[in-house]
């Protein structure tokens, strides 16, 4: 079935009519293969922040209307969807909620979940907006409320969240560049690898998929200036420092290692403006695969991580994503013929990847959509049986948002202790990276 871009419909009556005909038969007809994969996996994302203002259902309803105007893809994917059209009141009431609480302590962690409720009702939009309002008014920190947006990952990615935080247009258009064609041989090779990967995963997932593990969520906020100064002191990229802090602390020290004793398998994401004709038409993000050699000495480890990241990004950064996109396409084709595949065991199989490190673009509040919201800003994701740390930079803070096996969460507190220790150490000079670095 032909895929349509999720934002190409605004102001185009003919395209809207075609889109509505398509979703009347299949609510996910407009999804690209990547979107379909994330929808079928029930993958979700969240955005949450404290605010100096209070919220009620009318205010939240107006916020949703603004969000839909800026991100029309939010009108897609559910039974009865009218792509590009505002939501009627009964839908707004169904996807918004306000709670009144005595204190805001413990948020946002106490709110974070797999967000499986998003998929419970096929005739409701695939996102929710909720607020908790402090009964006694603003607390000592000026926080009157906390707000959270939860969505199917098929509709929103980190760059969308960053744009919406600035009250900017987050529609997608067609993200691939058809004029930039990869060589025919490379495309064929990637398609074959993607197809074989899909078949292999379908086969071995039923044997090797782990049992569902106890899951948990946790957040941590660190000052950006602190990370910047330490990265310069160590002579590494800021993102390399963050990747190393998280993986080293979670893996543990000494003989006992929680992830791996030799190599930590990680996937990380980045934005890339050099699009090609095999890129997904919806998502801007590109995934890369990395292997970090385990070392007990953190300074040696962070520099090894930095060298690994540099080596990956100096090479062709498209090949891994091209194979992944081909796998999505193959899986969707299998699903059309055999709707019971992929099964739930498939989604629990992560191919031995220890962690996914996602660095989203900077989130800086601006405009009416985020009026009153204050830092730190939290943004993260949940994927079935995948340990994830999402790094969300703001003006003054970077938040680390963890979705992972419960057994790993206790080690999150070791990140701050590790940071304190390395700041105190007298580190020998190293080849310095540029002092000014874009985090994405």
What is residue 192's predicted lDDT score, i.e. its pLDDT? 86
What is residue 181's predicted lDDT score, i.e. its pLDDT? 74
Q: Which of 119, 148, 147, 110 is nearest to 43 (CA)?
A: 119
Q: What angle separates helix 238-251 from helix 224-234, to the nearest 10 degrees?
A: 90
Residue pair 391/423 in contact (Cβ under 8 Å)? The answer is: no
Domain boundaries, the chain: 13-156, 184-424
In CATH terms, the fold of domain 13-156 is: Chloramphenicol Acetyltransferase (3.30.559)
Helix (H) or strand (E) holding 349: none
Residues of the chain with pLDDT under 50: 1-11, 432, 434-436, 440
Q: Which two tokens stand for residue 354?
A: 């220890």
Residue pair 399/171 in contact (Cβ under 8 Å)? The answer is: no
What is residue 8's predicted lDDT score, i.e. its pLDDT? 40
What is residue 319's predicted lDDT score, i.e. its pLDDT? 78
**Four-residue CA torsion sign, 206, 211, 216, 221:** negative
What is residue 14's predicted lDDT score, i.e. its pLDDT? 63
In which order are the strands placed within the sheet that holds 127-134?
A: 96-101, 127-134, 145-152, 44-51, 373-382
Cα angle 316-317-320, degrees, rounded to a multiple of 5: 105
Residue pair 399/377 in contact (Cβ under 8 Å)? The answer is: yes
What is residue 23's predicted lDDT score, i.e. its pLDDT? 72
Place of tokens 């707004």: 92
> Omega into 342 within 30° of 0, i.e. cis?
yes
Judge whether 13-156 and 184-424 match in fold. yes
Instruction: Please state, in angstroms and rounded to a whole number, the distance separating the CA atoms of residues 377 and 391.
Output: 10
Per DSSP, which regions of 299-430 are E strands?
355-359, 373-382, 388-393, 397-405
What is residue 439's predicted lDDT score, i.e. its pLDDT? 56
What is residue 429's predicted lDDT score, i.e. its pLDDT? 62
- Residue 313, beta-bridge partner list: none
Tens of pLDDT, residue by residue over 73-109, are: 999 999 999 998 999 999 999 999 999 999 999 999 9
Q: Which homologous superfamily does the CATH classification assign to the domain defined by 184-424?
A: Nonribosomal peptide synthetase, condensation domain (3.30.559.30)
How many residues are listed for the chain in this entry? Answer: 440
Tens of pLDDT, residue by residue over 30-66, are: 999 999 999 999 999 999 999 999 999 999 999 999 9
What is residue 434's predicted lDDT score, i.e. its pLDDT? 45
Considering the entire predicted model, what is its pTM?
0.91
The share of the chain scoring above pLDDT 90, in percent, equals 73
Instruction: Please state, in angstroms and rounded to a whole number, the distance separating the CA atoms of residues 246 and 400.
Output: 9
Burial class (CB in 10 A: 0-12, 13-18, 19+), 262: exposed
Tens of pLDDT, residue by residue over 123-136, are: 999 999 999 999 99
Instruction: Please state, in angstroms and rounded to a whole number, the distance separating the CA atoms of residues 370 and 48.
Output: 11
Instruction: Please state, in angstroms and rounded to a whole number, the distance separating the CA atoms of residues 153 and 90.
Output: 24
Residue pair 398/391 in contact (Cβ under 8 Å)? The answer is: yes
């Amino acid at each position: 079935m032909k895929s349509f871009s999720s934002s190409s419909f605004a102001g185009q009556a003919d395209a809207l009519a075609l889109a509505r005909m398509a979703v009347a038969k299949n609510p996910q007809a407009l999804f690209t293969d990547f979107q379909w994969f994330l929808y079928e996996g029930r993958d979700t994302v969240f955005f949450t922040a404290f605010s100096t203002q209070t919220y009620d259902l009318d205010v939240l309803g107006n916020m949703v209307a603004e969000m839909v105007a800026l991100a029309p893809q939010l009108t897609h994917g559910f039974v009865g969807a009218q792509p590009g059209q505002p939501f009627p009141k009964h839908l707004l009431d169904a996807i918004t909620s306000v709670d009144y609480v005595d204190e805001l302590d413990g948020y946002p962690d106490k709110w974070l979940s797999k967000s499986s409720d998003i998929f419970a009702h096929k005739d409701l939009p695939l996102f929710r907006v909720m607020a908790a309002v402090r009964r006694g008014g603003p607390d000592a920190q000026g926080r009157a409320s906390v707000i959270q947006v939860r969505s199917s990952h098929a509709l929103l990615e980190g760059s969308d969240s960053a744009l919406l935080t600035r009250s900017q247009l987050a529609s997608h258009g067609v993200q691939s560049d058809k004029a930039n064609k990869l060589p025919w041989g490379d495309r064929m090779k990637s398609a074959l690898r993607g197809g074989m990967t899909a078949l292999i995963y379908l086969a071995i997932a039923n044997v090797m998929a782990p049992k569902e593990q106890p899951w948990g969520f946790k957040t941590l906020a660190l000052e950006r200036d602190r990370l910047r100064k330490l990265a310069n002191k160590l002579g590494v990229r800021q993102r390399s420092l963050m990747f190393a802090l998280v993986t080293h602390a979670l893996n543990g020290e000494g003989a006992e290692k929680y992830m791996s004793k030799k190599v930590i398998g990680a996937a990380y994401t980045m934005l890339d403006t050099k699009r090609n004709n095999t890129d997904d038409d919806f998502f801007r993000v590109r995934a890369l695969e990395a292997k970090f050699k385990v070392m007990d000495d953190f300074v040696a480890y962070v520099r090894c991580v930095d060298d690994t990241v540099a080596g990956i990004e100096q090479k062709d950064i498209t090949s891994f994503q091209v194979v992944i996109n081909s796998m999505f396409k193959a899986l969707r084709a299998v699903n059309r013929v055999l709707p019971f595949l992929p099964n739930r065991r498939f989604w629990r199989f992560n191919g031995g990847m220890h962690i996914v490190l996602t660095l989203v673009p900077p989130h800086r509040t601006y405009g009416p959509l985020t009026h009153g919201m204050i830092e730190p800003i939290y943004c993260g994701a949940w994927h079935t049986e995948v340990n994830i740390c999402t790094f969300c930079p703001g003006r003054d803070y970077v938040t680390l948002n963890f979705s992972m096996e419960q057994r790993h969460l206790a080690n999150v507190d070791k990140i701050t202790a590790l940071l304190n220790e390395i700041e105190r150490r007298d580190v020998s000079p190293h080849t310095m990276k540029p002092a000014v670095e874009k985090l994405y």
